[in-house]
Amino acid sequence: MTTAIDEDRLTETFAALANSTRRAILARLAEGGATVNELAEPFTLTLPAISKHIKVLERAGLVVRGQRAQYRPCVLDATPLEAVSTWADRYRPVWEARFDRMDDYLRQLRRQEGASEADD
């Protein structure tokens, strides 16, 4: 069972990923760290616009910024992505157990039906 905090965290991750520019930034960072200027290069967006996207990624914990001088290179942190990829993994056993119980309940109903038919 996931907690509300996990859910909030996932929501933030999903929100950060629900934007093509931010996904492109992450894909670029997957190849290695980069400065904001380098990240802005392939886009027609202004530097402040790119910075805004990076801030969203930072809040979601997907990007970590270095402390080095004014360059402050961005580095990818894939940890929240691992949480995303395990969301379904965590829910699958919950559903499997539910359907096992549904199966049991159906068997119980059949037995009851059989018993009442025998009574008739």
Partner 1 sequence: MTDTQNSRDAVVIERTFDAPVVLIWRMWTEPEFLKEWYGPDGASIPIANMDVRVGGIRRVCMEMPSPNGPMQMWFTGEYREVVEHQRLVYTESVSAESGPVLSPTSPGTAGGHPMMTEVRVELEAVGNRTKMVMTHAGVPSDSPGAAGWAMALDKLAANIATNRGR
First to last CA, the chain: 45
Q: How many CA atoms lie within 13 A of 30 on its CB side?
A: 9
Site string for partner 1, 36-75 (x = CB under 8 A): ----------------------------------------
**Segment near partner 1 (CB under 8 A); pick from 20-28, 40-48, 52-60, 67-75:** 20-28
Q: Please report, as residue ranges, which positions from 24 to 43 form the binding site for partner 1 (by CB under 8 A).
A: 26-27, 30-32
Of these, 69, 88, 115, 118, which contacts partner 1 (CB under 8 A)?
A: 88
DSSP string of 17-36? HSSHHHHHHHHHHTT--B-H
